[in-house]
Structure 1
């Protein structure tokens, strides 16, 4: 066979990642808060996008999306027949992307002036000023601002104030001074003694214990404030490693106290705050809002629906587009307006398709974890992304994006969708595998119920689990126990004896 250049014609299929497809993929993995921010930015940059009114239609038929509308057999966008020219794309993740955006263009409205996404997350409009000013949270001082306010009252010397601000800048959010006084003195052009003097002044500020260089000094400052820093307590603080190991006999010898005094000292230490800086500032806690709601139906099944509060709803103002397009425009202006219309239509479709995909994945998770919803964590089944993806005809990467940063409210509580995906642990005999999360729950229950006189070792836990049909190794039990913050049997025995 000779090697020579030749011209050949070849027909092939490929998946092109258009900006619209990339936008759809991005929307899938956004949390409800990030999605709201993204839509707000799109509305600001696109003059054809507007927020829907609060009393607008929820869906194309005026109803709320439920699990029935997201079932695999439903005649929705997930079941569009693909043209033959695109059939080769029905592999892996490409199938999900093609199904999300069929060839047919979005139908234009015949009578209405607005094209709306059919999922009504009711967001507050820019002109919504009904909320009173009293309902708005007040500005909370951060830890540096709180300390600087006290610095202004503690001294009037400008030089000391300058050094004190330098010390405060080196205090982390937990309240600890995390710099070397000598290096800070070199940066500020002062002596080390001046830095130490300013640091001691800051250590007298509120909250008590702020400005400490380590845990021992933090606890000593708080004990000194309570007039409890005697020589025995100072020796106690010098051997905090023995406290962590619960080595009470060694502590009694070093502190030269009896058993009752030692227990009193430990109780005194427990009442202190090891991170005093967290008492100030920290911001407001953001409440988690579920994306999917699950409740029991009268017939014993589960009703699954999307939380409309997390679904931003936007409108495409066709009237404004028609009015502007009637005027003569430059080529650049006409291209900009056409791009805005295209982006607006794609965004409304992407939001609807995102909602359907989330509901479809959540419905399959609820179906497979029915035992957990009815009986609790011990009935949680092992499940992976492939099991859900195969059941609903999607790719694993699509399911992974859908379950990221999204929460589901169930009768058992509020859970992240990722919570239900756990590894499988083999069972003895020919029984069904156990979920790793369910096994961790069993281990915690066994340790919580153990009597002080008979603390369970890891080997005893392994034997008990195997008697109940769980084939697990000792190192796995130790790994699960440590991941839950449970100390070893030796440390638990010491704690139970000390608290007895």
Structure 2
């Protein structure tokens, strides 16, 4: 039987991705830095779109503890032994361990580096004085200082700092901002915490504007570079959202200082209409982002209190249904959005974690529990994947050994035999 071509008439319906729709999707999924760049490109092409300076930012929540320590002691009052016990999560330890191994230090310097790594706090700062590390290793102060300088060259810049000022000084030097004024500001951080710009400008013999510029640069640095290795942590950049705790509980707001102000200028015409349409898209994006973020953090309020280990099962479909949005809209708006909290800067997307089984805990919470177990293990007798699976089962979260191995890989934790070999070294 021969097949013959036939002409038929049929009616179909499809979505055409026109320029306006493509632009709307791009605006919806852009983070603060990407949206700023897009607006600059549009303003260069359209003279009726006028960009102004972003509003001056307040200190972000992740700076709160660091600045409180300057005003009232804070972290300086912690017991050094407690700091070591509560040390860095395995993901930070794994990063530091690999970076130190890549330096190929001589055996004596390697022992000193290992002791310095053990003294790291979760913030990335050293939690023990160098004199104590020198006593434990039998090394001289000069040897300790020499190894410390090598370790302070590791990424992220600021780890292995002895205090907040040194952490920020390392970042300022890397950025090429460590001039005389910046050095003077870093020596007077308590005045920065008090907002005493007039006193700073008088002490340094410069203008208040020059001091304000240094402080703006400081806000872009990370006071706790080790915190970015926590589960769900976002790289330090300009966050889209800020979560703060007030008298009425947790409040979530847009970080208005993350985007430039946008206004219209010039006579009416096609260009002005296009600029007005773009402004409406941005306003819609901001409203959608804020609504989604408030719903997400309302469901995950425990994360703001206790960290990523307190995450509860939640999917994008759950949030979309609660807000009357399409699931793809939620997915796009949280794609690159980060929220700054007192405990660090988190990706919104990282707070979505389905249950490992029906009515079970969230996968992200189990990964955090796994990381804590490895952090608390005896380094000379590390837990195998089977041991970890059994321990999690005892805590009410039964997992297969292969699932534990998968989670361990996600966290960057080496197998038990590799951890044992590293401890013996």
TM-score scaled by length of structure 1: 0.47
| In the alignment, structure 1 residue 295 sits paired with structure 2 residue 244 | yes
Cα deviations by residue, 1:373-409 (Å, 9 ceiling, x for unpaired) = 2333222112222222222122222212111222101
| Whole-angstrom distance in 2 between the partners of 1:272 and 1:356 | 47
Q: How far does the alpha carbon of each residue in 1:302-328 deviate from its partner, in whole angstroms, 9 at most, with x for none?
A: 2111010123321112xx306xxxxxx
Aligned partner of 1:257 in structure 2 is none
Q: Structure 1 segments of 4 or more deviating over 6 A?
A: 4-8, 270-274, 276-279, 281-286
Aligned to 1:435: 362
SS at match of 2:264: strand
Q: Deviations over 1:30-75 (max 9, x none)?
A: 12112111111212221212235x6xxxxxxxxxxxxxxxxxxxxx
Q: Which runs of 5+ in 1 are unaligned?
A: 55-120, 125-214, 229-262, 323-337
Deviations 1:139-164 (A, max 9, x none): xxxxxxxxxxxxxxxxxxxxxxxxxx
Higher share of residues assigned helix: 2
Q: Contact conserved, 1:380 with 1:437, CA < 8 A, in 2?
A: yes
Give the length in aligned residue pairs: 276
Matches within 5 A, 1:418-497: 418-426=349-357, 432-452=359-379, 454-497=381-424
Aligned positions of 1:9-28 closer than 5 A = 15-28=15-28
Is the 1:383–1:424 contact (alpha carbons within 8 Å) kept by the matching residues of 2?
yes
Distance 2:307 2:370 in 1: 15
Secondary structure at 2:267's aligned position in 1?
helix
Per the alignment, residue 330 of structure 2 pairs with 399
Q: How do 1:151-190 and structure 2 match up within 5 A?
A: none
Query: In the TM superposition, what is the alpha-carbon distance from 1:471 to its structure 2 partner?
Result: 2.2
Match of 1:43 in 2: 43
Mark the CA change 1:316 to 1:474 in structure 2 (over 3 Å): closer, same or farther. same
How far the C-alpha of 1:7 sits from its partner, in A, is: 9.2
C-alpha deviations, 1:121-175, integer Å up to 9, x for none? 5499xxxxxxxxxxxxxxxxxxxxxxxxxxxxxxxxxxxxxxxxxxxxxxxxxxx
Mapped partners of 2:327, 2:375: distance in 1: 38
Of 245, 257, 261, 1:313 maps to 261
In the alignment, what sits opposite 1:61? none
Which residue in 1 is equivalent to 2:60?
none
Change (3 A) 1:343 1:123: farther
Instruction: Say if 1:493 and 1:393 are closer, same or farther in 2 by CA, change over 3 A.
Output: same
Check the 8 A contact 1:461/1:477 in 2, yes or no.
Answer: yes
How far apart in 1 are the matches of 2:252 and 2:333?
Answer: 16
* Cα distance between partner residues in 1 of 2:18 and 2:384: 58
SS in 1 for 2:25: helix
The CA deviation string for residues 65-112 of structure 1, in whole angstroms up to 9 with x for no partner, is xxxxxxxxxxxxxxxxxxxxxxxxxxxxxxxxxxxxxxxxxxxxxxxx
8 Å contact 2:389–2:400 — kept in the other structure?
yes
| 1:410-425 superposed matches below 5 A | 410-425=341-356
Aligned-partner SS, 1:448: helix
Change (3 A) 1:494 1:414: same
- Whether contact under 8 Å (1:386, 1:396) holds in the other structure is yes
487 and 14 in structure 1: CA distance in 2 versus 1, 3 angstrom threshold? closer
Deviations 1:318-356 (A, max 9, x none): xx306xxxxxxxxxxxxxxx3202211111111111110
2:281 to 337, 350, 353: 350
Question: How many angstroms apart in 2 are the aligned matches of 1:454 and 1:273?
Answer: 30
TM-score, scaled to structure 2: 0.55
3-state DSSP of counterpart to 2:412: coil
Contact conserved, 2:390 with 2:398, CA < 8 A, in 1? no
Is 2:267 aligned against 1:340? no
TM-superposed CA distance for 1:13, in Å, is: 6.5
- Which secondary structure state, in structure 2, belongs to the residue aligned with residue 394 of structure 1? coil
* Whole-angstrom distance in 1 between the partners of 2:281 and 2:44: 18
User: Which secondary structure state, in structure 2, belongs to the residue aligned with residue 415 of structure 1?
Assistant: strand
Q: Counterparts in 2 of 1:123-138, with a 5 A limit? A: none
Q: How far apart, CA to CA, are the structure 1 residues paired with 2:267 and 2:413?
A: 63
Give a deviation string over 1:452-492, Cα, whole Å, max 9, x none. 56432221211111111112110111122233232222333
Please give the secondary structure, in 1, of the residue aligned with 2:288: helix
CA–CA distance in structure 2, aligned partners of residues 321 and 452 of structure 1: 71
Gap change, CA 1:453 and 1:40, over 3 Å in 2:
closer
Q: What CA distance in whole angstroms lies between the structure 2 residues aligned with 1:350 and 1:374?
A: 34
Residue pair 2:33, 2:238 contacting (<8 A) in 1 also: no
**Could you list the runs of 5+ residues in structure 2 that have no partner in the other structure?**
1-5, 58-100, 109-136, 158-172, 177-219, 222-235
Instruction: Tell me the distance in 1 between the aligned counterparts of 2:263 and 2:348.
Output: 29
Aligned residue in 2 for 1:388:
319
Query: SS of the residue aligned with 1:434?
Result: coil
Work out which of the two has the higher radius of gyration on C-alpha atoms and give 1 or 2: 1
* Equivalent residues of 1:426, 1:471 under 8 A apart: no
Matches within 5 A, 1:68-79: none
Change (3 A) 1:29 1:424: same
